[in-house]
Structure 1
Amino acid sequence: MIKKRKELKSFDTDLNKFVSQDIIDQAKADAQKQIFKLKLAELRQKQGIKQTDVDGFSQVSVSRIESRSDIKISTLVDYVHACGFDVEIKAVPKKKKNNEEFVLLRA
């Protein structure tokens, strides 16, 4: 007799049955840090700028910035400006009831 497989409802729902919320939250935070690193490199690459050509930064500095999971805001602003972009940092409500965003920094 063939055993019928239980159908999964959703990844998040089923994951919560097997893994603690703390582990899930840490994994999400780690993933966001990795995405941040990729986005910094992508930002520079979209402008066609090599690591050696970022104004005001050595190649080693650019490599370190792009591989860090956290960065000073002032360094981020300088790096983003050197890549030809502006920076805007917003505070966004966690709960969807209020969609009002607050701009904390526009540089």
Structure 2
Amino acid sequence: MKNKKKYSDFFESAKKTMSPETIERAKNKANKIIFSMKLAELRKQSGVKQTEIEGFSQTSISRIEGREDIKLSTLVDYIHALGMEIEIKVINKKKKTQNKEILLMKA
């Protein structure tokens, strides 16, 4: 949560000097970094070391957690190896409909 605040402060001040395209690229990169930090934190909160994840080598886990982008199938395998399930929901940001969220996948 604290990192999110730092990023939002950065983007507010960046709007004064950077183009919208540059800001969008920076936001995307920040989100990817936050995503990889969340994967490592999720594993740590589960009390699992990188070397203890079945079906993955420590090197593989390190790469997965450090990646800016990850295949969905790899993410599902990683989450399952932690003993968890994953849900992917689609949220319509533009239209205010009764079904704001649609469950796309549960694995």
Question: Which TM bucket (shorter chain)?
Answer: 0.7 to 0.9
Percent of residue pairs identical = 54
C-alpha change, 1:104 and 1:12, in structure 2 (3 Å) is same
Q: Give 3-state SS (helix, strand or coil) of 1:103's partner.
A: strand
Match of 1:105 in 2: 105
Instruction: Using structure 2 for the length normalisation, give the TM-score.
Output: 0.81
Match of 1:6 in 2: none
- Give the corresponding residue for 1:30: 29
Alignment of 1:56-67 (within 5 A): 56-67=55-66
Q: Which runs of 5+ in 2 are unaligned?
A: 1-8
Structure 1, unmatched stretches of 5+, are: 1-9
Name the aligned partner's letter for residue 102 of structure 1: I
The answer on whether the counterparts of 2:11 and 2:23 sit within 8 Å (CA) in structure 1 is no
Query: Which is helix-richer, 1 or 2?
Result: 2
The two structures, once aligned, show a CA RMSD in angstroms of 2.0
* CA distance in 2: counterparts of 1:60 and 1:13, whole angstroms: 37
Distance (whole Å) between structure 2 residues aligned to residue 78 and residue 106 of structure 1: 13
Residue 17 of structure 1, CA deviation: 3.1
Distance (Å, rounded) in 1 between the aligned partners of 2:59 and 2:12? 43
How far does residue 16 in structure 1 lie from its aligned partner after superposition? Answer: 2.6
Q: How many positions carry a matched residue from both structures?
A: 98
Give the match for residue 4 of structure 2.
none
